[in-house]
Amino acid sequence: MDHVRTTCSLCEASCGAVMTVEDGRILKVAADREDALSGGFICAKGAAIPDLEADPDRVRTPLLRKNGELMPVSWEEAYAFIDDRLSAILAEHGPQATSVYVGNAAAHNLNIITYFEDLAKALGTTNLFTAASLDQNPRQVMSGLLYGDEFALYVPDIDRSQLVWIMGANPAESNGSMMVAPGFLGRMQKMHERGGRTVVFDPRHTMTASRASEYVPITPSGDAAFLAGVAHTLLKLGPPKTTALSLVDDVATIEEWLAPFTPEAVAEACGIDAETIVRLATELRETEAAAVYGRLGTTTQLFSSLTCWLMDMVNIFAGNLDVIGGSMFPKPLLAQPNTIGPSGVGAGFTVGKWKSRVSGAPEVVGQMPMACMAEEMDTPGEGQIRALFCLAGNPITASPDTQRMAAAIDGLDLLVCLDIYQGETASKADVVLPSPPRLARANYDAYLYRFTVRNYGRYTQQYRPLETHERSDRETLLRLMAIAQGHGWDADIDALEDATLAATVEAMTLVPESAIEGRDPAEIMTALSTLEPMERRMDFGLRIGPFGDGFGSRKGISLQTLKESPQGVDCGPLVSRLPESLRTTSGRIEAVHDIIGAELNRLTRWLGETRPRFTLIGRRQLRSNNSWFHNLKRMQHPTRECTAQINPLDAAKLGVTSGDLLRVSTPKAAIDIPAEVSDTLSPGVVSIPHGWGHEMLDGKLNVASANPGVNVNRIVNYDDVDPLTWNGRLNGMPVDIAKLETN
């Protein structure tokens, strides 16, 4: 029996875990008490890894559609089929007829996160879509515009804070997002014990709210109004002198913009009275170590980009940005754009470098927004998408307008899914390629460590070699790239990759102030040559990173350091990074943009509008993971039912009790779903979780199909995307509700 260190990597908490392994089977998964970040925490999902790995419904070999059915085949046969079909599409319609979609599970998979952009490049397409445009793009775009780097993502320095505002986030159940802070409730508890406070702003009294010092119900999408009132108040209080504030361009314009947003002017619209707004703003200003943190409820609503911008303004005007215990920019161990090259200045950031074919949607962070994916597939004409490579995602269930997305995907000439299950999307594929089991993968949560509450990293080495029927995701993606480039699936992928790495190394030796500026690229390649191909990339990124040894030019870490410390390498608490971390062209915080002025005008108009009778919001569930994790019996739980929660007052008016069927509709469509009467909801708000609707699986995943739930995205549309980012609006839609009369 072995005890094997791993990182759970199922969600963004990235908890250290220890697996008990016997005869190649995982018997048990427990918390790793020695992990410097998670310190002995895991949740029910982490503990269910043995069930996940043993699930008989998992895809373990490539599947190819034959006579309408997905049948197990060899990798060679699957690749040969893809090569034939893709070559024909490329020859007839060109590279823009191909596309890539990357889902959430890619953020937890080192290989997929490392190579997905290369796959789109190899295909030669700009049709790269990711779940980020149903999620955090407004945050990333604001970070890009203000700080010059889309990954300049600050987090609450929770372990040293005395006050944290949590807006539109429920880390008690999501386990934290764009904030790697495992065991969040424990961290919050410690904060309370040292006299600190937490305040939750949410239309629903969530599990996080029930553990917070204060809960402030807020009208859905009311955050921008509220934060504008707070920012206005802070400016009146006289902002403190901080480095962050001294770096902000054109504070006068911002003051002018915010002048009309008095607490009195915004109170009714956000549902928080003026006195409370002033009290909260004053507390924020007077507490030295305070942070404002916002997540999905702030980035997928009516004013997503504006809300993110206002959060920046509030953090800055309260004196909280880049100070210990405030909102701080992490310094990841792997080199990032804002840790290499000349510090404090850079190339800046823009949106809309290219536009989509049908609606002219802008490019955002190098990708096309999901809001235009279905129309790019189902609108005929030159450039119509005919092939999709879907990596670790389930767009049919995750994306608004499920019906259109499903029909568009049905109409493709080629759908290849890299997945571990035949979910709603993969079950429609021509080819499904499986990721290897956990014990046969190495992992490093490279994506997540960009927003971790300490400067930390944990590398998990591969426990056992791949079996003959298994392939690493790296190999799969490189073979798909080789096919796309016409080299054939059996090309020498290591040689192809080495050529790319050599070019990256050479480029870095030319970057001023890089850790290897002026060095001989051949010397660096030789230093990397003893490692496995994937490890070469990791080692390179770590050694030129802020804590790296610069290939012998200074004392520091390398991949070897991480290998010797499987419980994680902790490079200490967050440090102040302004102005060094800026990569704007001006070297300042560029906060004034026309779009913000326009959005504030839209907000002003909204303040005077009549509110809908019912507003729909989402809800994450502890034992779920978006559209998956529903196939494990052990994860079923009374708190994980797919219900529409409504307030008792609304229920009484509608004559509804828990269990009655409700018809919830938008002008687009209606769904019928059981009601759950709950006083956690503000009146007029209805909450439905996403990720359900497994009737589409036709019984394929046994447990999930037996308890299918209803897909809320059937009634969610793209009618009003965020104007700047085209991010999906998944919270705050007006809906109608009626009791469904049954005979």
Ligand X SMILES: Nc1nc2c(c(=O)[nH]1)N[C@H]1C(S)=C(S)[C@@H](COP(=O)(O)OP(=O)(O)OC[C@H]3O[C@@H](n4cnc5c(=O)[nH]c(N)nc54)[C@H](O)[C@@H]3O)O[C@H]1N2
Stretch that binds ligand X, among 32-40, 171-179, 353-361, 449-457 (CB under 6 A): 171-179
List the one residue from 4, 8, 11, 442 that touches ligand X (CB under 6 A): 11
Stretch that binds ligand SF4, among 12-20, 121-129, 161-169, 349-357 (CB under 6 A): 12-20
How many residues touch ligand SF4 under the rule CB under 6 A: the total is 12
Helix 223-237 with 274-286: angle, nearest 10 deg:
60
Stretch that binds ligand SF4, among 6-14, 246-254, 261-269, 377-385 (CB under 6 A): 6-14
Torsion angle of the four alpha carbons 29, 32, 38, 42, in this order, in degrees rounded to the nearest 10: 20
- Minimum separation from the CB atom of position 536 to ligand SF4 (A): 27
Determine if 716 is a binding residue for ligand X (CB under 6 A). yes
| Closest CB to Mo ion among residues 179, 524 | 179
Stretch that binds ligand SF4, among 5-13, 485-493, 525-533, 669-677 (CB under 6 A): 5-13
Binding to ligand SF4 in span 626-665, by CB under 6 A: none
Interface ranges with Mo ion (CB under 5 A): 135
Cβ-proximal residues to 725 (8 Å cutoff; 6+ apart), any chain: 133, 137, 138, 141, 304, 305, 351, 362, 364, 369
Compute CA distances 549 → 29, 335, 514, 541, whole Å: 34, 12, 12, 11
The three-point CA angle 247-250-255 to 5° equals 110
- Minimum separation from the CB atom of position 193 to ligand X (A): 23
Determine if 45 is a binding residue for ligand SF4 (CB under 6 A). yes
| Closest CB to Mo ion among residues 135, 590 | 135
- Minimum separation from the CB atom of position 437 to ligand SF4 (A): 17
| Closest CB to Mo ion among residues 131, 409 | 131
Q: Which residue is listed with tokens 């495992």?
A: 182
182/45 Cα distance (integer angstroms): 13
Binding to ligand SF4 in span 163-182, by CB under 6 A: 175, 182
Binding to ligand SF4 in span 179-218, by CB under 6 A: 182
- Minimum separation from the CB atom of position 136 to Mo ion (A): 7
| Closest CB to ligand X among residues 511, 670 | 670
Q: Which does 287 bind (CB under 5 to 8 A by kind): Mo ion, ligand X, ligand SF4, none?
A: none
- Beta-sheet strands, E only, within 403-472: 414-418, 431-433, 443-444, 454-457, 459-460
Determine if 643 is a binding residue for ligand X (CB under 6 A). no
Stretch that binds ligand X, among 218-226, 553-561, 646-654, 670-678 (CB under 6 A): 218-226
Binding to ligand X in span 72-131, by CB under 6 A: 103-105, 109, 131
742/241 Cα distance (integer angstroms): 64
List the one residue from 690, 694, 700, 714 that touches ligand X (CB under 6 A): 690
Q: Which does 15 bind (CB under 5 to 8 A by kind): ligand SF4, Mo ion, ligand X, none?
A: ligand SF4
Torsion angle of the four alpha carbons 539, 542, 545, 548, in this order, in degrees rounded to the nearest 10: -100
Q: Which does 42 bind (CB under 5 to 8 A by kind): Mo ion, ligand SF4, ligand X, none?
A: ligand SF4
Whether residue 548 contacts residue 518, with contact meaning beta carbons closer than 8 Å, is answered with no
- Minimum separation from the CB atom of position 631 to ligand X (A): 9
- 740 CB burial (10 A radius; 0-12, 13-18, 19+): middle
Cβ-proximal residues to 731 (8 Å cutoff; 6+ apart), any chain: 168, 220, 221, 296, 297, 300, 301, 616, 617, 618
- Minimum separation from the CB atom of position 644 to ligand X (A): 13
Q: Which does 10 bind (CB under 5 to 8 A by kind): Mo ion, ligand X, ligand SF4, none?
A: ligand SF4
Determine if 10 is a binding residue for ligand SF4 (CB under 6 A). yes
119/82 Cα distance (integer angstroms): 14
- Minimum separation from the CB atom of position 41 to ligand SF4 (A): 7
Whether residue 218 contacts residue 272, with contact meaning beta carbons closer than 8 Å, is answered with yes
Q: Which amino acid is at 103?
A: G
Chain position whose Cβ is nearest to Mo ion: 135
Q: Which does 712 bind (CB under 5 to 8 A by kind): Mo ion, ligand SF4, ligand X, none?
A: ligand X
- Minimum separation from the CB atom of position 425 to ligand SF4 (A): 22
Candidates 385, 401, 395; CA nearest to 417 is: 395
Whether residue 596 contacts residue 306, with contact meaning beta carbons closer than 8 Å, is answered with yes
206/211 Cα distance (integer angstroms): 9
437/440 Cα distance (integer angstroms): 6
Torsion angle of the four alpha carbons 694, 696, 698, 703, in this order, in degrees rounded to the nearest 10: -10
According to DSSP H, which parts of 325-401 are helical?
Answer: 373-378, 395-398
List the one residue from 7, 161, 206, 561 that touches ligand X (CB under 6 A): 206
- Minimum separation from the CB atom of position 184 to ligand SF4 (A): 9
List the one residue from 4, 19, 37, 43 that touches ligand SF4 (CB under 6 A): 43
253/432 Cα distance (integer angstroms): 53
User: Which tokens is 29 given?
Assistant: 């998964």
Stretch that binds ligand SF4, among 7-15, 229-237, 596-604, 639-647 (CB under 6 A): 7-15
Determine if 477 is a binding residue for ligand X (CB under 6 A). no
Whether residue 229 contacts residue 258, with contact meaning beta carbons closer than 8 Å, is answered with no
Q: Which does 421 bind (CB under 5 to 8 A by kind): ligand SF4, ligand X, Mo ion, none?
A: ligand X
621/591 Cα distance (integer angstroms): 36
Binding to ligand X in span 583-622, by CB under 6 A: 617-618, 620-622
List the one residue from 4, 18, 37, 42 that touches ligand SF4 (CB under 6 A): 42
Stretch that binds ligand SF4, among 43-51, 70-78, 357-365, 734-742 (CB under 6 A): 43-51
8/543 Cα distance (integer angstroms): 25
Whether residue 183 contacts residue 162, with contact meaning beta carbons closer than 8 Å, is answered with no
Helix 251-258 with 594-607: angle, nearest 10 deg:
10
Q: Which does 437 bind (CB under 5 to 8 A by kind): ligand X, ligand SF4, Mo ion, none?
A: none
Whether residue 61 contacts residue 77, with contact meaning beta carbons closer than 8 Å, is answered with no
| Closest CB to ligand X among residues 315, 584 | 315
Determine if 392 is a binding residue for ligand X (CB under 6 A). yes
Binding to ligand SF4 in span 15-34, by CB under 6 A: 15
Chain position whose Cβ is nearest to ligand SF4: 46
Phi, psi of 238 (to 5 degrees): 90, 105
* 3-state helix, strand and coil shares in percent for the chain, rounded to the nearest 5: 40, 20, 45
- Minimum separation from the CB atom of position 344 to ligand SF4 (A): 35
| Closest CB to ligand X among residues 550, 674 | 674
Determine if 296 is a binding residue for ligand X (CB under 6 A). yes
**Coil, helix or strand for 486?**
coil
Stretch that binds ligand X, among 81-89, 284-292, 295-303, 519-527 (CB under 6 A): 295-303
DSSP 629-662: S-S-GGG--GGG---EEE-HHHHHHHT--TT-EE
Residues engaged in binding ligand SF4 (CB under 6 A): 8, 10-11, 13-15, 42-43, 45-46, 175, 182
Binding-site ranges for ligand X (CB under 6 A) = 11-12, 103-105, 109, 131, 134-135, 167-171, 173-175, 177, 201-204, 206, 218, 220-221, 223, 295-297, 301, 392-395, 398, 418-421, 423, 435, 617-618, 620-622, 624-628, 690-691, 712-713, 716, 730-732
